[in-house]
Chain A
Amino acid sequence: MYEYLDQDEDRQVHADGPPSAEATGRAVIRLLATRLLTTLVTLAGVAVIVFFVIRVVPGNPIAMMLPPGATDEDIARLSALYGLDKPMVTQFGIWVAGVLQGDFGTSITTRQPVLDLVLGRLPATLELAIMALVLAVILGGTAALIGTRFRGGRREGAIDVANGMALSVPDFLWGLVLILLFGVLWPIFHISGRVTPSLDLPFTTDFYLFESLLRLRFDLWADIVAHMFMPALALAIPLAAIIGQLLKQSLKETMNLDYVTLARTKGYGETRVILREALRNAALPTLTLVGVQFTFLIGGTVIIERLFSYEGLGNMAIDAVINRDLPLIQGIVLLFALIFTGVNLIVDLLYAVLNPRLRHA
């Protein structure tokens, strides 16, 4: 009876070997290569579309920049100067050749190199987007953690309702609401600009927020934060809601897994179990979606910068469209496309790095 335990042939147990580092490395390189290729195709597509679309714009940009008394001869001369008299395909070839050498042309309205203009404004937009991302992660993460800690209770219900509201309304409207609340009703933040104009700025770069910190000029830093807090918050609210929802859902699923139960028997409290056992595994699926959403956030800076008169890339872009500044529009759109595809690429790599299953140990 019940003999099977006694048939003794105790085999030595071996660990399954991990997939060889070489194979994993090859897979990552192949993934990277295809991703880079599709990114290039995407960028080329963007370049073609933006170039030809804006050339359908009615209204001669050259005529717009000259005083009303300008003769046709003047217009023709300036058009030739900007290469606008050549056939469109030739213009495109010249532009692409320039871009590949780092020359994005000259702005028609300011007569400065597009690259300088764009790079001068990029830091402002990057700072705004990063601050918004940080705010979104803090707000959304906190909401998800509190919702998970008190799941099934009234607090979770309240968080769900707040998330739903935040998600339903886009950043533009949140910006207006914030202006009313903290710009007019209880004016604790600035509603326009990037920094108080009367302040003396000792900066050598355009990363005001970071440089003021590095120079330990906390007075300037506070002023800059007071300017960018509301636009950043407006951008952050919808993303925070997405992070909050996804992370909470994923945390709640993780909290039912066996290894979390095992951790509970070890004597840990609920909060510590959530933070140490569940958070990291739950955050992984949230990450890829947040990456895509972050590109939406960057896209949102265009109108939010306009709303808050924040001197960034988006605000410049709208001016460029209104002024028919073709080279500048091309440069800005291409830069945005570069940022979007770059963010997606980074998120993919980050996912690979953070997931121990993909990382070769």
Chain B
Amino acid sequence: MLDAKGMDGRSLIRRRAGLRLWLSAGWLTLLCLAALFAPWIAPKDPLAQDLFLGRMPPFWMAGSEPGYWLGTDSLGRDVLSRIIHGARVALTVALVAGVITCLIGATLGLLAGFLRGWVDMVISRLIDIWMAFPPVLFSILLIAVLGPGLISIIIAIVVIDWTRFARVVRAEAMAQGAMDYVASARVAGRGRIGIMLREILPNVLPTICVLLTLEMGIAVIVEAILSFVNLSISTDDPTWGGMISEGRTAIHQAWWVLVFPLITLFLTVLSFSQLGEGLKDRFDPVLR
């Protein structure tokens, strides 16, 4: 039963969801631009050390140094410039790792869910085994094996997180495979791969898109966590996780070294997931 008030509530939810979507997309666009044009935007060289300018507070506080808007870390490096350059690593990881994870995971999930049989058995068993690993420990282990570096991080994320896609897509493909339209396509003489790509995939695609957005947020976090335990890329290169790690040790002396990268990371992760949620609402015919 839908009364007028309920309608208002729903359109309110939709409007709010729309706002969330736009804010998230806005922040991520800003971040992309910052990453692309980092060398031109960043006020200082992110690697330049100046021990005389160590632990300068942000601009509104007493004792701040002009030009260093968000203060400096213990080696006198500009926090703002490092955040801007850190966006490059974060977004590269999000994009590349997210997409590769998505491709591999979704393919395996689709195969398992639609072909069933021994393919499903093998993939499901693999998923079970993967789920029994603590993911953070697994990723740290992989970085230890692969050696630090951007490529290693991306490989580690792909190796660990493909199950996220495989699990969901498998279930979804299974549900779709049981629908009548698949049966009628089979009756019409379509091959199995044809049905999978032309009938099942388009129906699973919205779910995959939502998962991809969420995965990008997760990839950013994993990169930050690995930087935090000093296993990401070389410690000199600016990464948000590395900055947070430094900030954590000097938290009582220079809180801004922790706070600003943390805020950036927080907003980025939140944006990715809100974007995912927003897309989910858009795709959800019940709410539309």
Contacts and interface: CB of A to CB of B under 8 A. Distances in A.
B244 A295 contact: no
A303 B136 contact: yes
A123 interface: no
Interface string A330-357: 0011001100110000000000000000
A171 to B, nearest CB: 10
Contacts of B197: none
Nearest to B217: A168
Contact of A302 (B128, B136, B255, B273): B136
Nearest to B126: A45
Nearest to B272: A168
A183 interface: yes
B131 A336 contact: no
A184 B251 contact: yes
A225 interface: no
Interface stretch (A7-15, A174-182, A258-266): A174-182
B133 interface: yes
Interface in A154-189: 164-165, 167-170, 172-173, 176-177, 179-180, 183-184
A168 B273 contact: yes
Contacts of B262: 173, 176-177, 180
A329 interface: yes
B273 A167 contact: yes
Given A164-B277, A295-B131, A302-B136, A173 B266 contact: yes
A295 B217 CA distance: 21
Given A38-B128, A164-B277, A184-B252, A173 B136 contact: no
A169 B225 contact: no
Interface in B194-224: 217-218, 221, 224
A170 B131 contact: no
Given A164-B277, A299-B134, A336-B137, A179 B129 contact: no
B15 interface: no
Contacts of A303: 136, 225, 228-229
A324 interface: yes
Interface in B234-288: 244, 248, 251-252, 255, 258-259, 262, 265-266, 269-270, 273-274, 277
Interface stretch (A70-78, A99-107, A141-149, A313-321): A313-321
Interface in A287-308: 295, 298-303, 306-307
A168 B252 CA distance: 28
A336 B134 contact: yes
A302 B134 contact: yes
Contact of B141 (A54, A177, A299): A54
B255 to A, nearest CB: 6
A73 B131 CA distance: 42
A307 B144 contact: no
B137 A168 contact: no
B135 interface: yes
Nearest to A191: B251
A53 interface: yes
> Which one of B135, B144, B224 has the highest number of Cβ atoms from chain A below 10 Å of its Cβ?
B144
B270 A45 contact: no
A49 interface: yes
A46 B132 contact: yes
A165 B24 CA distance: 13
Contact of B270 (A168, A184, A318, A333): A168
B132 A341 contact: yes
A56 interface: yes
Contacts of A329: 141
Interface in A216-263: none
Contacts of A54: 141, 144-145
A53 B266 contact: no
B142 interface: yes
A173 B225 CA distance: 9
B26 interface: no
A86 to B, nearest CB: 20
B264 to A, nearest CB: 11
Given A38-B128, A318-B140, A336-B133, A180 B255 contact: yes
B129 A49 contact: yes
A126 interface: no
B221 A173 contact: yes
A321 B128 contact: no
Q: Which 9 A-B pairs have the closest CB atoms?
A: A45-B129, A168-B273, A299-B134, A337-B132, A302-B136, A336-B134, A303-B136, A42-B128, A340-B132
13 contacts: A164-B277, A167-B273, A170-B218, A180-B258, A180-B262, A299-B137, A301-B134, A302-B136, A303-B225, A321-B140, A329-B141, A332-B137, A333-B133
